[in-house]
Amino acid sequence: YQPPAVGARQSDGLGQTMHYLCAECGVKVGINKGEPIRCKECGHRVLYKQRTRR
């Protein structure tokens, strides 16, 4: 384990958008940090996180 250096900052993720798929209507939904987890099209609250591509 190595502690972070003094003065090192990690990004707070305010500008990052995570993409999810709605379980009800299948629409791709982009959600920013702090937004409610809800489909913008149908209002359904079950969203699936998309897999990352490596």
Instruction: Confirm whether 37 is domain-assigned.
Output: yes
What does the pLDDT average to over 17-37?
93
Instruction: Confirm whether 34 is domain-assigned.
Output: yes
Q: What is the DSSP letter of 21?
A: E
Query: CA-to-CA distance for 29 and 41, rounded, in angstroms?
Result: 9
Instruction: Confirm whether 45 is domain-assigned.
Output: yes
Query: What is the model's pLDDT at position 13?
Result: 53
Query: What is the model's pLDDT at position 52?
Result: 78
Parent domain of 31? 18-49
pLDDT digits 0-9 by tens, 9-18? 555 556 688 9
Across the chain, mean pLDDT equals: 84
pTM: 0.63
User: What is the CATH number for 44?
Assistant: 2.20.28.30
Asked whether residue 29 carries a pLDDT value surpassing 80, the answer given is: yes
